Amino acid sequence: MAKRLTKPTINWKEFDKLVPPDQRTNFLAFKAKSDNYLRRVQANPAELPKIDWKKYEAMVPVAGLVEKFKKDYEGLKVPYPVDNLTATIDEQWKTLQPEIKAYCDNAQKEIEIATKELEKIKSLPKFEDITMEMFYDLYPNEALDPVKRPTFWPHDEESQLGYEEKKAKKDAKEPQKKK
């Protein structure tokens, strides 16, 4: 007989913390299905019910039939899959821990950079209130500077004097003609 699990193997509280808000309904539906399945399994007895074979021997007139059933019943073993992958998975998990930690550290650094950028953006004046001079003071490289870097309308790279198309990209896109 397979062993009966007495406690859940899933830490639902920790799992719940990792679920994004937009996936919450799917997570709750999955948890409800899992709980329902666990309740159905727990409703069944852990051991097979005991059969009173003497009672059946008295009731069945065919000699040897009950003994045959008893022998077959007690000899019946339902195969339970052997867990031979948990050790491999645990080993893989241990080898992945440094990569996961490095990824999390890198992600945390990016979060800090993005948070600083958001704070910087929030500290800016509203779009309606900013002037061209304020924009030039805040972003001197992106602002139009008619004195130091005059440009022609529409002020993009292709519309300026001295612009040359990137021939390497153009040549790479065109297939070579055979002679």
**Nearest C-alpha neighbor of 12 from the set 4, 33, 2:** 33
Whether 32 and 59 share a structural domain: no
Query: Could you tell me if residue 22 is inside a domain?
Result: yes
Can you give the pLDDT at residue 1? 47
Secondary structure element (H or E) that encloses residue 110, with its range = helix 86-123
Contacts 24+ apart (CB under 8 A), 166-169: none
Whether 99 and 144 share a structural domain: yes
Query: Could you tell me if residue 173 is inside a domain?
Result: no
Query: Could you tell me if residue 159 is inside a domain?
Result: no
**Nearest C-alpha neighbor of 136 from the set 125, 144, 128:** 144
Identify residue 94 by its one-letter amino acid code. Answer: K
Paired tokens of 150: 């005059």
Residue in the structure block whose two tokens are 């051991």: 47
Query: Could you tell me if residue 174 is inside a domain?
Result: no
Whether 12 and 36 share a structural domain: yes
Q: Give the CA diameter of the chain.
A: 115
**Nearest C-alpha neighbor of 1 from the set 35, 39, 50, 34:** 50
Whether 38 and 55 share a structural domain: no
Whether 98 and 137 share a structural domain: yes
Whether 100 and 137 share a structural domain: yes
User: Residue 160 and residue 165: Cα distance in Å, rounded?
Assistant: 12
Contact predicate 4/46, CB 8 Å: yes
Residue 167 has pLDDT above 70, yes or no: no
- pLDDT tens by residue, 5-34: 656 678 889 999 999 999 999 999 999 999
Can you give the pLDDT at residue 175? 60
Whether 39 and 56 share a structural domain: no
Whether 98 and 139 share a structural domain: yes
**Nearest C-alpha neighbor of 160 from the set 144, 172, 136:** 144
Whether 12 and 55 share a structural domain: no
- pLDDT tens by residue, 55-96: 988 898 888 899 999 999 888 888 888 888 999 999 999 999
Whether 39 and 57 share a structural domain: no
Domain tally, the chain: 3
Residue count (the chain): 179
Residue in the structure block whose two tokens are 């910087």: 120
Identify the band that residue 152 occupies on the pLDDT scale cut at 50, 70 and 90: confident
Whether 130 and 99 share a structural domain: yes
Query: Could you tell me if residue 21 is inside a domain?
Result: yes
**Considering the entire predicted model, what is its pTM?**
0.41
- pLDDT tens by residue, 89-124: 999 999 999 999 999 999 999 999 999 999 988 988
Range of the domain at 62: 50-79
**Nearest C-alpha neighbor of 73 from the set 56, 90, 58:** 56
Query: Could you tell me if residue 29 is inside a domain?
Result: yes
Query: Could you tell me if residue 38 is inside a domain?
Result: yes
Other Cβ atoms less than 10 A from the Cβ of 51: the count is 13
**Nearest C-alpha neighbor of 120 from the set 112, 128, 109:** 112
Can you give the pLDDT at residue 25? 96
Can you give the pLDDT at residue 139? 85
Whether 32 and 15 share a structural domain: yes
Query: Could you tell me if residue 87 is inside a domain?
Result: no
- pLDDT tens by residue, 134-147: 888 888 888 888 88
